Structure 1
Amino acid sequence: MSDTCVSRSEAPSSPSRLGGASAQSPLALAILLLGGFITVFDLFVVNIAIPSMQRDLGATFAEIGFVIAGYELAFGVLLIAGGRLGDIHGRRRLFAFGLLGFGLTSLLCGIAPNAASLIVARFLQGAAGAILFPQVYALLRVMYDDAGRRRAFGLLGMTLGMAAIAGQVLGGLIVESDLFGLGWRIIFLINLPISLGAALCVHTLPDSKAPGASVVDWPGVGLATAGLLLLLVPLLEGPNSGWPAWTWASFAASAALLAAFLAWERRAAHSAIDLGLFARRGFSIGAVVVLLIYSTATSLFLCFALLLQSGLGLTPFAAGALFAPASVGFVAASLLAPKLVSRWGNAAIWGGALIYAAGIAWLIAMTSRLTGKEDALSLLPALILFGFGQGLSMTPLLNLVIGFVEDRHAGMAAGIIATMQQVGGAFGVSIVGIFFVSLLSGPSNGAEPDPSRYGAAFSGAMLYNVAAALLASALIAWIARKKAAR
């Protein structure tokens, strides 16, 4: 996620209060880091819990796809609006509101009686996260001077990386422990006391607003959300229902609403996004690259969790622990990326995308050889390479793409890119699901999937991920040359 997803931020207004790191309460920093941690943790922990949810709720792949994609879609579409609400009404107030909203919507997820109510609750949870998350970045920017800000954002980056790892490993342990007999529901319910406790401490945060902040473009947000929902619904449900007429009607309505969104943004006085930024070819193609790269991540996590647990019979903890080395590879590459880019230039970024594609291809090849859970450890080298390539391509990519716009537009550009990250994740789940479902069902469409088919379904569906990563690598190389020419 981008560290500049807020469209505006002001300079520290009071050096004695907001100047250096030493002037700030350690509790204030801890509360902000906790806010970032829970939003990312809940994105990753659900992947490990999905097989348990599917069995408990009798959910289809489309429904569990909505559980993941709904969170990402709401989070991504509302990120810019969440940042502007903080600019207007105060970041501390919106941070507290986001914490409370995240806790309450997590409660709704934890007590959901069926798949439909869980999907709605996850969409609301993503919306709460979109209110909460931008305030973390904005408050860190105004709380510290330059030196303190670098340290604070370094800690935030480490926290978000740890949240991803914890979501896999700790999440698997929580699900497998079946605390209080709640099974997967506990991964959501623990957010309630954490969020309420953090909300009680927000008084330690300074409040800040952005003078002259523009109003939120709610019509634009509504058109974009409705258009994307009408696109994702048939993509997820179509393979299960045989692509009936309503799916094609939904595609048509989606196209109409997204066209209306673009028309509105061109003439709106306070638009949600500045379409003029897309006139810069490097930025517009870079936005497509971000969507492609991030479309591969969530879909792989989902399908891999189903392969390991429903296909091979691994426990949630074993599945999460197996994937942990990929997260370690990601963090290691993220730390090395600045040095590699400094030495090799942007070739390190498109080279990272190639390594990413190679890691997925290796994972496909190894999956085809699996005969049982005892072979799962053979996947570790491919997972480490996959995670390393992912970190090497994703981490410096955002800086490359945002570098195509002027500094005065950097905040808006970062907001757009952060939105593309989350929408890309939702889009990837939808596209990969088409292949995964068809390959998993095979000739016995509608029957209970044969566990032996999960390997073939995973391998076939991941061909999209390889193709997307290769295309992204080629496009990164192209925009890198364009930037060098400038």
Structure 2
Amino acid sequence: MASIAPRESHASFDPRHLSPRHKMLALLTVIIALVLEIVDMTIVNTALPAIKASLGTDAQASQWIIAGYSLAFAVLLLAGGRLGDSYGYRRMFVLGIAGFTLSSLACGLSATAGQLVAARMMQGATGAIMAPQAMALVQVIFEPLERVSRMALFGLIGGLAAISGPILGGLLLAANPYGLGWRSIFLINLPIGALAIIAGLMFLPRTRSDRPAGYDLVGMVLFGLALAALFWPLIGAGDSASPVITAGCLVCVIPLVWAGWRHVTARVRAQRPALFDPVLFAIPAFRTGLAISIVFAASSAGFLLVFAFAMQAERGATPLFTGIMHMPYGLGAMFGIGFVGRNLLPRLGRRVLVIGAGMMLPAVCLVLTGVTALHWPWPVIAVFLMLCGTGMGMTSGCIGPVSVSRVDRQHAGAASALLKTAQQLGAAFGIAVVGGVYFWWGGVHHLPALAAAVVIATLLTMCVTLSLRLPHRIFDTP
């Protein structure tokens, strides 16, 4: 049995005091949180028809079951990162897991659509406390070059979790354990969450930032409102709202961000607790990494949305076959993250991101053209999907370690939350913009997918351009 996590004081914590075995057990512990977060974002899609039949949900409630989780998660990520910096990454990790587990229980016990939506929003809120601590702990426990292989493992497991979510949901619905039906997709989190809590208390080190602890309630409110105003139209939660309300939300974003920035700057200058330190944005690798995260997440999410719709609407594939055709992409992504990116990043630096996004660009266009206009055989499309996934993995697996390579450990929680928020924002933006272009064309033959491919290619070109702005030698001391 591994020893209980050491009780270092926060200021004196040194990751070199942890044995390699202890570090690996800590890494496996935070990976459990990663799996819970990703699977719960995708597993519900499979069960929505069963939930709708059981609870009698209408279209708007069904949408909120998905969107409520995403909205609460995105809005509270920055607050979750700050809480870890202030009160300890292990403490907030365990509290986040506990809250997520209890929220999953509430989802499984929901008797009405309203109760389920509320419980899903609680899942998103507690997930926002849990998720930033995972990357923050990796940043605290491992040295910059060590993080490359550890974050590659994150990518591998994350890719598997994303693929497994819909499959696991289908298996649970088919097996119908104890007659629970769709409730089993939430209740399965209970034993996993309990395991994560026990492992967190045993293996995670007691550490936090040495910056001033405490709440920055005003900063949380200002940036939370800004993110809510931005995400509301992007994730589709505002479909039932009038265009005036949607436009009003978007107009409010800039003044809220400006007020929030002035607020946190003044708090840091006065040496008081702040949501994040603006000095993070003075680090070129971190600032550029955030921009790459947004653009690349937009291109990836937009491609997956259009590919799934084009397969069924324009090629006549079944939902099951469409799901199977995602597997080459997922396998390529795991190869790109776990092998190519991990081995080449320390030697090639920013060129790995350039090569990855550059490889994905033509592959995306060929896949969408082959599915729609050219009607290529499925094995040919599968080859290009694997190339597309490999490029995706090479890029996405390297963005994290590159972005935080020169971030001081005392900013680990805030930096992780900002990076995660950027990814969420990019994905929502990609679905809104690329999906909007695709659906705008209506029933025009082949043009929707080709127009979407042009937008995705433009985003990937931006990703290549931004990657070239990264430092030449990323992991050297500046």
**Which residue does 1:328 correspond to in 2?**
331
> What is residue 382 of structure 2 aligned with on the other side?
380
> Shift of the alpha carbon at 1:94?
2.7
Partner of 2:427: 425
Who is 1:59 aligned against? 59
Deviations 1:130-161 (A, max 9, x none): 22233444556777899999987675554334
Identify if the C-alpha distance between structure 1 residues 236 and 142 changes in structure 2 by more than 3 Å, giving closer, same or farther: closer
Write the deviation string for residues 424-448 of structure 1: whole angstroms up to 9, x where unpaired: 22332333343344345x59xxxxx
CA RMSD of aligned residues (A): 4.4
Cα 1:433–1:57 change in 2 (3 A) is farther
Deviation (angstroms), 1:353: 0.8
Whether contact under 8 Å (2:80, 2:417) holds in the other structure is no
Once the two structures are TM-superposed, the CA of residue 400 in structure 1 deviates from its matched residue by: 3.5
Q: Contact 1:48–1:305 at 8 Å: present in 2 too?
A: no
Which letter maps to 2:399?
A: L
Alignment match of 1:351 (pick from 355, 365, 369)? 355
Q: Could you tell me which amino acid in structure 2 is paired with residue 398 of structure 1?
A: G
What letter corresponds to residue 464 of structure 1 in structure 2?
A: V
Residue number in structure 2 paired with 1:475: 466
Residue among 131, 134, 148 paired with 1:133: 131
TM-score by length of 2: 0.77
Q: Pairwise mapping of residues 61-140 of structure 1 onto structure 2 (< 5 A)?
A: 64=63, 70-110=68-108, 120-137=118-135
> C-alpha offsets along residues 206-227 of structure 1, whole Å, 9 cap, x if unaligned?
5614374422323222222222
**1:389 aligned residue:** 391
Measure, in 2, the Cα distance between the counterparts of 1:282 and 1:99: 31
Q: From the superposition, tell whether residues 128 and 179 of structure 1 become closer, same or farther in structure 2 (CA, over 3 Å).
A: same
Equivalent-residue separation in structure 2 for 1:25 and 1:338 (angstroms):
17
Q: CA deviation at 1:389?
A: 0.9
Residue correspondence of structure 1 range 440-451 to structure 2 within 5 A: 440=442
1:42 Cα deviation (Å)? 2.3
Q: Secondary structure at the match of 1:478?
A: coil
Tell me the CA shift for residue 292 of structure 1: 0.7
- Cα offset, 1:478, TM superposition: 3.5
Gaps of 5+ in 2: 1-8
- Relative to 1, partners in 2 of residues 1:364 and 1:346: Cα closer, same or farther, differing over 3 Å? same
1:368 to 363, 367, 372: 372
Separation in 1, partners of 2:358, 2:431: 21
Describe the shift of the 1:303–1:167 C-alpha distance in structure 2 as closer, same or farther (beyond 3 A): farther
* Corresponding position: 1:261 with 2:260: yes
Structure 1: runs of 5 or more not aligned: 1-7, 444-452
The amino acid across from 2:127 in the alignment is G
CA distance 1:460–1:154, shift in 2 (3 Å): closer
C-alpha contact (below 8 Å) 2:82/2:276 kept by paired residues: no
Amino acid at match of 1:232: F
- Which amino acid is the alignment partner of residue 301 of structure 2? T
**Residues of 2 paired with 1:187 and 1:346: CA distance?**
40
Q: Distance in 2 between matches of 1:333 and 1:404?
A: 24
Contact 1:230 1:254 (8 Å CA) reproduced: yes
Q: Deviations over 1:249-277 (max 9, x none)?
A: 22223333233222322222322222233
- In the alignment, is the contact (CA less than 8 A) between 1:9 and 1:138 conserved in 2? no
Give the letter for the 1:383 counterpart.
L
Describe the superposition over 1:175-205 as per-residue Cα deviations: whole angstroms up to 9, x where unpaired: 5656667665543332234224543555434
The more displaced of 224-233 and 29-38 is: 29-38
Query: Between Structure 1 and Structure 2, how many residues are aligned?
Result: 460
Are the counterparts in 2 of residues 370 and 376 from structure 1 also a CA contact under 8 Å? no
Distance 1:286 1:141 in 2: 15
- The residue type equivalent to 2:126 in the other structure is A
Structure 1 CA distance for aligned equivalents of residues 183 and 310 of structure 2: 21
1:464 aligns with 2:451: no
Q: 1:229, CA displacement in angstroms? A: 1.8
Aligned residue in 2 for 1:42: 40
1:416 maps onto 2:415 in alignment: no
Of 425, 436, 440, the residue aligned with 1:438 is 440
Identity across matched positions, percent: 29
Matched, 1:224 2:223: yes
Give yes or no for contact 2:229–2:252 (8 Å, CA) kept in 1. yes
Q: 1:200 to 1:246 in 2, by over 3 A?
A: same
Aligned equivalents of 2:473, 2:135: Cα separation in 1: 30
In 2: Cα distance, 1:344 partner to 1:152 partner: 18
Matched, 1:291 2:290: no
Query: Does the 8 A contact of 1:103 with 1:195 survive in 2?
Result: yes
In the alignment, the residues of structure 2 paired with residue 473 and residue 51 of structure 1 have an alpha-carbon distance, to the nearest angstrom, of: 40
C-alpha separation between the residues in 2 aligned to 1:306 and 1:295? 17
Check whether the contact 1:330–1:390 (CA below 8 A) recurs between aligned residues: yes
Counterpart of 2:341 (choices 300, 321, 337) is 337
Contact 1:239 1:434 in 2 (8 A): no
CA deviations on 1:156-177 (whole Å, 9 max, x unpaired) are 5543343233235444544565
